[in-house]
Structure 1
Amino acid sequence: MSITIKDIASLAGVSYSTVSKALNDSPLVRSETKQKILKIANEVGYEPNYAAQQLVSKQSKVIGLIWPTVERVAPSTLLTKINEEISRHSYSMILSISPLKSSLDMFKRFNVDGVIVFDEQNYERLDASSIPMVTYGVAKNKNIPVIDVNYQEAMHTAVDYLYSLGHRKITFVGDFSLDDERQTEKYYGFNRAMKKHGLPISSNHLVNTAGLDWYDGYTATSKLLKSGFCSTAIIGGSYDISAGIVRALREANYIIPKDVSVISYDNIPQMANLEVPLTSFGVPVDQIAKYIVTTLMDFIQDKDSVPYVQTLQPAINELNSCAHAAVSSIE
């Protein structure tokens, strides 16, 4: 037989409503009484009836998250930070890596209070009128609130930073796939920043990895180094790509940053754990997670209170992979 709130009330010598308030951490219950009730609840093995709570509050206290992949480091880091933020709001999270429609159907069966979506190819199929939803990435052509992490501005930040160090021969190694708007924004941002500074753009300055994994960065950089490479700085398009860049450079006996500076997109703590700790750029992952979750929580409470686009500002996180360019290399 399961333990109920009434059983705890009898054991604690308080009213049913006092137990209910204590279990929900209400400030209306004195601290000593609350601790006594929680101690009894723990000792008798009380488990909340979430189904009953949901009927009363009309909230499941659960957030759904649709994520196409958890294989790469940066997305996995953001996923972890989002889960931490959701927990701080006393919610739980359900993760789905299934296709968009089946994920949404499942979340509706679970009566989740809101959904965070990462599926840049299917935004036109989303309808935030049925369930509160938010996403992050690029603000173009979305019909749900977007946390825009400003990819083009991020690339400007990286090029400006390298330019300030005297670099004039800069190569961008990234995925230029046209079906991924996030990578496309980085590509356009790099081109615009290079033109702003009057810097050359040729095949040696734009290297397409055709993928976002470690091996994509490694093979693309290895080919670049065999083709008359002469840049003094490389921008990596993601954490995983940059890890491959570093391995290829070290195998070719390049010393970072003495021979070549390297800076990477994805402002995540793991940059410090690479074989050469990398300076990185982009919106810090903690900030992205906080904005995503806070926006969704506000949207759940009042849809009219949330702007449909919030644009975040990228920043540089300096480690020791970039140095001033040699005077002879500055044109």
Structure 2
Amino acid sequence: MIITIKDIAKKIGVSYSTVSKALNDSPLVKQETKDKIIKLAKEMGYEPNYAAQRLVSKRSNVIGLIWPTLERVAPSALITKINEEISKHNYSMILSINSIEESVEMFKRFQVDGVIVFNRDNIHMPKTFPMPIVTYGVNQNNSIPVIDVNYKEAMNAAVEYLNKLGHENIAFLGDFSFIDERQVEKYQGFQQAMRKFGLKLNNYNLVNTGGLDWYDGYMATNRLLSSPFKPTAIIGTSYDISAGIVRALRQANYIIPKDMSVISYDNIPQMENLEVPLTSFGVPVEDIAQQMVTTLLNYIEDSDTVPLSPVLTPKIAERTSCALAGKNNK
């Protein structure tokens, strides 16, 4: 038997509207009455009619999230934090790993209130969407809010950190395919920082991984170690690449950080759980999640005005993978 608001109202002796307001935590109902109604609703097994609520409020309280790949660790960590943040605002999340176009069509059928988009290459984003949408990466599209995590500043901070430890021969391992604006920002940021601090750039300390996976970082490190260039520190541009760097160094009998300092992009807790806990730079994953959800909810409230695209500040998470250059004896 389905319990309705009318059943609760009849049982407790109040109007239907009073029960409805109490169940929606309205300040118009006295707290004593509200507590009594909520307690009775639980005892009777009342379940809200979400379909009816949607017709009245024109809201589904559902957010769609598009992420075309879940293969890497950092994206999975961010999705978890986003889901936690969405739940704090009494919303639910639907995740799609289909293309942006396919996902948007599906979310239209589900009548989601808004969508968070993670574009694999941060390019070819549609100019218009049928619902409020927020993305992240490099802010070059003013038609939708972009949460800019300031990749260049993260690379600048990493180089400065290593330079203060006395490192001058610094290698940079990242994907140079240039189809992903986020990787381009890191690549350019590293070079700008090296010039800023008067450090040398050459053909050997810029190492193209050709991808963003663990194996890409592993193979690129092996190529670096067999080259004439002998760095005292390595910067990896993602968690997965850096995990490959650590494995290759350990297989070559390098002790981190005694023989080689390693620092990584991606400020996620999982850095602590690598073979060697890595010092990392980047915007903390919980800060990205909070900013994305807050921006989207503001956009949903006023869909006629596109919110400003904030630029977040990278931070350091110091662990045990970096040492003074003088301690590098390899």
Q: TM-score band (shorter)? A: over 0.9
For 2:123, the equivalent position in structure 1 comes to 121
Q: How many residues align?
A: 327
Q: Can you list the C-alpha shifts for 1:149-183, whole angstroms capped at 9, x where unaligned?
A: 11111111111111111110001111112111111
CA-CA distance at 1:34 after TM superposition: 3.0
Instruction: State the SS of the aligned residue for 1:311.
Output: coil
Q: Secondary structure, in 3 states, of the residue corresponding to 2:325?
A: coil
Structure 1 residues 173 and 328: CA distance shift in structure 2, 3 A: closer
Which residue does the alignment assign to 1:138? 138
Q: Distance in 2 between matches of 1:327 and 1:83?
A: 43
Q: Match of 2:57, as an amino acid?
A: S
1:164 match: 164
Give per-residue Cα distances to partners, 1:7-57, cap 9 Å, x unaligned. Answer: 122233332222212222233334443333333323332221111101101
Aligned-pair identity in percent equals 68
Go from structure 1 to structure 2 and tell me whether the alpha carbon gap of 1:150 and 1:57 turns closer, same or farther (over 3 Å shift): same
In the alignment, which residue of structure 1 is the partner of 2:99? Answer: 99
Counterpart-to-counterpart distance in 1, 2:53 and 2:82: 24
Q: Which structure 2 residues correspond to residues 1-331 of structure 1 after superposition, within 5 A? A: 1-119=1-119, 120-123=122-125, 125-128=126-129, 130-303=130-303, 306-326=306-326
Shift of 1:264: 0.5
One-letter amino acid of the counterpart of residue 112, structure 2: V
Closer/same/farther in 2, CA of residues 327 and 217 from structure 1, 3 Å limit: closer
Counterparts of 1:327 and 1:212, CA distance in 2: 30
What displacement does 1:252 show?
0.9
In the alignment, the residues of structure 2 paired with residue 328 and residue 234 of structure 1 have an alpha-carbon distance, to the nearest angstrom, of: 12
Distance in 1 (alpha carbons) for counterparts of 2:92 and 2:148: 24
Instruction: Give secondary structure in 2 for the equivalent of 1:309.
Output: coil
Structure 2: tracts of 5 or more residues without a match = none
RMSD over equivalenced CA pairs, Å: 1.8
- Shift of residue 98 of structure 1? 0.8
* Structure 2 contact 258–327 (Cα < 8 Å) conserved: no
CA distance, structure 2, for counterparts of residue 327 and residue 62 of structure 1:
53
**After superposition, what is the alpha-carbon deviation per residue over 1:82-115, rounded to whole angstroms, capped at 9, x for unaligned?**
1111111111111111111111111111111111
Q: Distance in 2 between matches of 1:203 and 1:265?
A: 22
CA distance in 2 between partners of 1:328 and 1:79 (Å)? 38
AA at the equivalent of 1:121: I
- 213 and 142 in structure 1: CA distance in 2 versus 1, 3 angstrom threshold: farther
Greater alpha carbon shift after TM alignment, 134-143 vs 33-42: 33-42
Inter-partner Cα distance in structure 2 for 1:126 and 1:10? 53
Unpaired segments ≥5 residues, structure 1: none
Q: 1:158 to 1:212 in 2, by over 3 A?
A: same
How far off its partner does 1:222 sit? 1.7
CA distance in 2, matches of 1:216, 1:11: 66
Extract structure 1 runs of 4+ deviating beyond 4 A.
none
Residue aligned with 1:310, SS = coil
2: distance between equivalents of 1:25 and 1:221? Answer: 58
Given the superposition, is the C-alpha separation of residues 61 and 285 from structure 1 closer, same or farther in structure 2, using an over 3 Å criterion?
A: same
Question: Which piece of structure 1 moves more, 110-119 or 35-44?
Answer: 35-44
Write the distance in 1 (CA, Å) between the matches of 2:207 and 2:183.
13
Contact 2:257 2:328 in 1 (8 A): no
**Kept in 1: contact 2:143–2:306 (CA 8 A):** no
- The alignment partner of 1:115 has SS state of strand
* Contact map agreement 1:298 1:306 (CA 8 A) in 2: no
Equivalent pair of 1:100/1:122 in contact (CA under 8 Å) = no
Moved more, 100-109 or 197-206: 197-206
* Amino acid in the other structure paired with 2:128: D
Seen in structure 2, the aligned counterparts of structure 1 residues 30 and 229 have a Cα distance that, compared at 3 Å, is farther
TM-score (normalised: structure 2):
0.94
TM-score, normalised relative to structure 1 = 0.94
Q: Distance in 2 between matches of 1:66 and 1:328?
A: 44
Q: How far is 1:305 from its partner?
A: 5.6
User: In 2 relative to 1, CA 46–122 (structure 1 residues): closer, same or farther, beyond 3 Å?
Assistant: farther
Distance 1:232 1:31 in 2: 65
Q: In the aligned structure 2, how far is the partner of 1:328 from the partner of 1:272?
A: 22
Cα 1:208–1:43 change in 2 (3 A) is same
Decide whether aligned partners of structure 1 residues 327 and 106 sit closer, same or farther in structure 2, where only a CA change above 3 A counts.
closer
Alpha carbons of structure 1 residues 230 and 113: separation in structure 2 relative to 1, 3 Å: same
